Structure 1
């Protein structure tokens, strides 16, 4: 019996599975990449399992799938693709943290509410309640007064259990101020300051840390990772003001002074209780693999004589898509339609470097002899 079971499993025909990044692979900003249409249609026609794995966020998973398929003009043919967003793993923390600050576009708090978090506020809620908390905000410039959709806010004593950064904020000035405030607060209590360099901050979750991303513009643009760097620099200076960079710092500081400053900054940042999600972290690939397996079952059933063999990650960013998939044990296809360009120093060697996603799919299928 055991031998028969082993024999039947080992004789299953293997088909490839594909995991696609979105920005720089399927679309460039609002513009679709034509090769993506052909690639996805081919996979769908041949019932090859595939999913989206993106470091973008601020929407629900089904909404992101619909947004991309609409941009590509193929939603009638492919109604939905299973999608893992950078913040998808946050669902696991909905019982652990009661009151959280949601960082992202206005309205992104609804994502955390959908994930099951009880009490969620955004920077815009706090700006509407506490005058002067973020003096250069964009909310106050609206013709219509901002009305919070997230319930009553106390006059004072609002305490946060965690900060959850879902996506790039649209008002960096306000979010830099409020996130930094909470990271130097007394255990998350808004409006307080604790400058003790030995004490841990409240938890902050970053949905990803991509430093740049590709839009329609000729050069990559700053992403959430750049925002993260700014937050931590500001926190360091607030806790140790002499870390500020003065105009004559090169002339008046020795290498030893600069090294000492770096050590002070490192000590402060080591007390930030952070968790980083998204690519290249393994948790994102784990979630994507589960969704890929679900897609396979939907396409072929539980008792199929097929099974997923090689998995190919198709991405444009060597520092997130490619290195993360490489560490996870997948094949990697680096496309030239996004962040990567000739001369880029690669942290790992991809399985292949190709012009676009259609070429990635074709060459991958040839590699595993899928016909």
Structure 2
């Protein structure tokens, strides 16, 4: 065999060995990935089963649209306030606990856990503002609550614009907790965009994400029992189908709300974070919402978006002052 032929055979042999080693490495990597996914999924199944047994019931279930919606009521004051959560709040009744503790000595406080939140059922119905508002109203009607002050955090402020115009004879006043405004819309999300999140959740990676994330309740006035239940319900409800569908509907809900304003005769109080991390229009856009109100106020707080967690006492005191002023003019 000639020298060039020998060299060619040697090169082919090297290529084959490299290819063989590469295939073995790729196979090992694929097996490792599949094994990792299997471990994450197994941990999810075992942990979910364990947490299900440790989950404690609270509040009461009311029938809404043929399903069960959880409502938590605390306090026996003559005045009723209804609390609505921001998007993705895993367990509203527990999350609002610091503010509940401050308000309940003076008011009857009703926390609504919409479908897909807390201990409420999920819903396949479109998460339009109209449907969400109708469901909340049905829950209150079933409890024979027909005169109240509406307090809403974040995205529920957007739904509340629809609500106060639908039921002006029931809502005495609106109080926004860093509530969303129609002019600052969320980005559009298509239904195809949420499919990867469903796989992410179903395989157990949402749980892993939470494990690697900071504790949102660290250093805040929540006892250990409440934090344990919040931890369980965060894992139960994160990226559930109802909440993902709400995200898909969010853009159209913002667009629909652009046509709405608060009734001029409705007292409106805003608690707003003083330094929004993403936009300098946060305060001006809230000011526009109350510019025609006969009784509109805004309180700026040096706080984050979940300002009711960090400033419950200050918020409660201002709410009492505000509602006292309303009642004195009735």
Higher CA-based Rg: 2
Q: Kindly indicate which of the two structures has a greater share of residues assigned to helix.
A: 2
TM over 0.5: no
| TM-score, structure 1 normalization | 0.25
The TM-score with structure 2 as length reference comes to 0.28
